Amino acid sequence: MCSFMLLLLFWYYISCFCVIYKKTQIYLLKYTLISYILLFIYPFILCLIPGVFRIPSLKKSGECLYKITQITQLL
């Protein structure tokens, strides 16, 4: 219930801001889309880093690379 009320309050605030400053609507939309795109891409990159090191370490049985994958997996 509290999050819904905050969401309505933020929506009202942004609506008022965009009505007053009409030229900021495009920038607000553009930067919001960039933020959402980065929000969705960031976890994929973090999951790919351990996988990139783990595949060669298992094929060549490199102990050093395997330890690196364990460290990066904790991040």
Give the rounded percent of residues in the chain with a pLDDT score beyond 90: 24
What range does the domain containing 45 cover? 22-74
As given in the structure block, the two tokens for residue 3 are 């999050």
Q: Is residue 8 part of a domain?
A: no
Percentages helix, strand, coil for the chain, rounded to the nearest 5? 90, 0, 10
pLDDT at 33: 92
- Answer for the pair 39, 49: CB distance below 8 angstroms, yes or no: no
- Answer for the pair 72, 64: CB distance below 8 angstroms, yes or no: no
Closest CA to 75 of 54, 41, 45, 55: 45
Q: Which tens digit of pLDDT belongs to each residue from 11-30?
A: 899 889 889 988 888 998 89
Domain count, the chain: 1
Q: Is residue 11 part of a domain?
A: no
